[in-house]
Amino acid sequence: MALQKWEIFQDEATDFLNNYFNANFSMDGGLDATTSYITVRESIRLITTIEAKFGPTQAGQIVLLPENGKFIFCDKSKNESNKYTEEIIKYLNSNYSSFAGSNTANIHVEIPNNILFNWVKTIYEDKNVEWIISSQKFNNLALKDLLFIPINELENYFDISLVFRRKKTGNTQIPGKDIIDFKEQLDEITKDYKIKKMNNKYLLTTSSRLSDFNIGSRYLVSMTNVDCQYYIKKKDINTNPNIMFQLNLKDNIEFKGELFKKTYDL
């Protein structure tokens, strides 16, 4: 599978830093766009952590739950709540009817930039990230292409925006209460099968391979590493509201390599 542009950028940015500084830079994140961090070590000592972001980029998101006519913080969020999270949710609740009625359309949220930047800085601080490297170019990187600055200077080099949207929660393992309904749907396809519960998952074994992984409109199955065995899942039919923080690079690219060397005595 071909690498995504952000994955190429992360690798090339790591290589660039290794060639520029006398330290060991390693891409320790990168499994997805939310774990895009580079660790910096001198021998075995961890010096600092750098966020690698191919721009424009998402800087984080908050998942919400509608409850009793207001939004509350949802623990499905990848980041912990902080005082700026509370300020943002308070604003959304003061305009609840405007946001609660939306379906899939994105809505720009008008909140002061200082609150948004402080939210992002707090999230990075919680992850012990002190620097960010970013670019609008993803390969064949040169010094002129790269922004490399301390996190506390974000607002000088990025524009920030906040968007309210609804995002699917993803398919989940089928709950036990739905097994009977699942069997009724599966019986219309085949009656030669067994279902076994393993921990919190249900395993389906059929006598022959299924030609369609959709079982009715509410369920689906996913392959295991054993032929004719499948995990049973319930399709996501709901969407969770969430707010997404977006960073866009300004034109004033600057590579603060000398400050980095001075800060960490490299």
Residue 31 pLDDT class (50, 70, 90 cuts): very low
CA distance 177 to 39: 45
Query: Is the four-CA dihedral 55, 56, 59, 65 of positive or negative sign?
Result: negative
Sheet holding 239-249, edge to edge: 70-73, 57-67, 239-249, 158-168, 107-108
How many helices and strands, by DSSP H and E, does the chain display? Answer: 6, 16
Residue 1 pLDDT class (50, 70, 90 cuts): very low
Mean pLDDT of 5-14: 91
Domain ranges of the chain: 5-57+125-159+247-263, 172-234
More confident position, 27 or 33: 27
- Chain segment 65-84, per-residue pLDDT in tens: 988 899 999 988 888 899 99
- Chain segment 191-243, per-residue pLDDT in tens: 999 999 887 889 999 999 898 889 988 898 998 888 999 999 988 655 678 89
